[in-house]
Structure 1
Amino acid sequence: MTAFLESGSVPTVGSQFMKWIRISEPIGRGFNLKRKIYHMAGLLVPVMLYGDVFRFLADDPFITRKVLIGLLIAANIALIVMETLRMKHRGFRDLFYRLFGSLMKESERDRIHGTVAYMISNLVLVLFFSDEVVVLSLTFLVLADPLAAFVGIYYGRLRFWNGKSVEGMLAFVAGSFLSGIVFYLIQDALNRGNLPFVLESGSIGVALAILGFAAVVAALAEFFSFTALNGVVDDNLIVPLAAAAAFVIAALSLGFLPATVFFDLNWML
């Protein structure tokens, strides 16, 4: 999920300053709406986790997380097998492109599809982090990324050396922050206890400060994201894990207990 812009070279204007930031007209094309709608399905795991949708299966407070971990492991294995077939078997590759080609970036035709990296990030987050961190970290990517891409493509004029725009980056921060506020409101409406990351002696300002910090870190992670291991590592993995790390660093630095941000693994013992 590339957040801001995928573009080639842009005309430069002016001075030495323009060596790393340039002014250009917005591209105005290249926003793949089908792909972005497909990305919205990435909200499925955090919604299922937060909604505890599998609680009917057993009298076990961790049943939903256990089921999701099993499903995510199975999904990762299935995706890796599918991607291996796509790379090695021409007939399967042709069928795959007919069915899903419109959802792919051109660069993904020669490497592993970004869905694999996203599913790996889901598995890591569900294994090790609290419900709130999982929801917020994945929401940052799923919702802020399309917003940043749209703004960068249609309104981005100040563009960095890598083609990503200042406007897109700011849109990513704003989208992440606003999605976090919506989550806080949902948390309060569902009477799920105190807002995440608020000390008993603290205030809503503490929660907003942590949220803002994590949103900025996630945007920087998107800006400097890269692709490695033939696509196993890309922004779909880097951004959610960077956001989770930001929540951990901020919360622990302010004196929160580890249980605020980490999931207790004792149930596995």
Structure 2
Amino acid sequence: MHLWLRKFWHLLGNAIPIIYYFSSLSSKKAAFIMFIIFLCVFVLDVLRLIYHPFNHWFLNHFGILVKEKEKHAITGSTYYFLAISITIFFFPKNIATCAILYLTLGDPIAAIVGHYLPLTPIFKQKTLGGSLANFFTCLIIGVCFFPFIIALLGAITATLAELFSPIDDAISIPLCSALVLSIL
């Protein structure tokens, strides 16, 4: 149940790239707004980590949305808003939107499928089922923005970033994908 609630929370993150894509906001203004949100979330995370009563309150009210390893560390939301602000700032709207959707759709679908239909473990706690689900989700997203070959390479990049990233995949998926998409 916790997995589903956490992933539903992550799926709500799709509102940001969709609103950005259809808005008339410039990339600089949108990135600035996302950076302000990042700073707020970061400050709350830091306060939560240094002031234990606040962390206790936070975990009592929102703990179901937090991974076990994030209960006493920076949450994925902080990384998410940082990556979103950087991606929007440095890349054109279609590339940024696609790369962010790789994260907000591909990653939670990979986690759900990987949990219920793992097929076989392939790297750390990642599974073939989850990686295939991530790849096909990202491929479908990619073809909405780009020709098939570019979408294919973008989906491969997002899948590899989710699978092998040494840093939080909320940062690696959109940034690596956007970089590859912009080169193509």
Say yes or no: TM over 0.5: yes
User: Residue 221 of structure 1 is aligned with which of 154, 158, 161?
Assistant: 161
Distance apart, 1:75 and its partner CA: 0.9
Distance apart, 1:67 and its partner CA: 3.4
2:6 is the alignment partner of 1:35: yes
The amino acid across from 1:141 in the alignment is L
SS in 2 for 1:112: coil
SS in 1 for 2:165: coil
Distance apart, 1:161 and its partner CA: 4.5
SS in 2 for 1:38: helix
The aligned length equals: 184
2:49 is the alignment partner of 1:91: no
Query: What TM-score, normalized to structure 1?
Result: 0.64
1:122-159: CA deviation from partner (whole Å, max 9, x where unpaired): 11111111111011101111111122112211111321
- In the other structure, the counterpart of 1:121 is 83
SS in 1 for 2:88: helix
SS in 1 for 2:121: strand
Which structure has more relative contact order (CA 8 Å, sep 6+)? It is 1
Cα distance change, pair 151–128 in 1 and its aligned pair in 2 (3 A): same
2:152 is the alignment partner of 1:212: yes
Cα distance change, pair 65–245 in 1 and its aligned pair in 2 (3 A): closer
Distance apart, 1:44 and its partner CA: 2.3
Distance apart, 1:64 and its partner CA: 4.2
Distance apart, 1:72 and its partner CA: 1.4
2:70 is the alignment partner of 1:108: yes
* Counterparts of 1:73 and 1:150, CA distance in 2: 29
* Counterparts of 2:2 and 2:138, CA distance in 1: 19
Q: Determine if contact 1:31/1:149 at 8 Å carries over to the other structure.
A: no
Cα distance change, pair 166–84 in 1 and its aligned pair in 2 (3 A): same
1:158-185: CA deviation from partner (whole Å, max 9, x where unpaired): 212413111211111101011223x34x
Distance apart, 1:65 and its partner CA: 3.2
More helix by share: 2
* Counterparts of 1:220 and 1:69, CA distance in 2: 26
- In the other structure, the counterpart of 1:244 is 178
SS in 2 for 1:173: helix
Query: What TM-score, normalized to structure 2?
Result: 0.92
* Counterparts of 1:77 and 1:168, CA distance in 2: 31
* Counterparts of 1:242 and 1:69, CA distance in 2: 18
Cα distance change, pair 168–80 in 1 and its aligned pair in 2 (3 A): same
* Counterparts of 2:28 and 2:182, CA distance in 1: 22
Consecutive unaligned residues of structure 1, counting only runs of 5 or more, are: 1-29, 56-62, 185-195, 197-206, 228-233, 252-269
User: Residue 29 of structure 2 is aligned with which of 67, 76, 95?
Assistant: 67
* Counterparts of 1:161 and 1:217, CA distance in 2: 16
2:15 is the alignment partner of 1:44: yes
User: Residue 79 of structure 1 is aligned with which of 10, 31, 41?
Assistant: 41
2:113 is the alignment partner of 1:154: no
Consecutive unaligned residues of structure 2, counting only runs of 5 or more, are: none
Larger radius of gyration between Structure 1 and Structure 2: 1
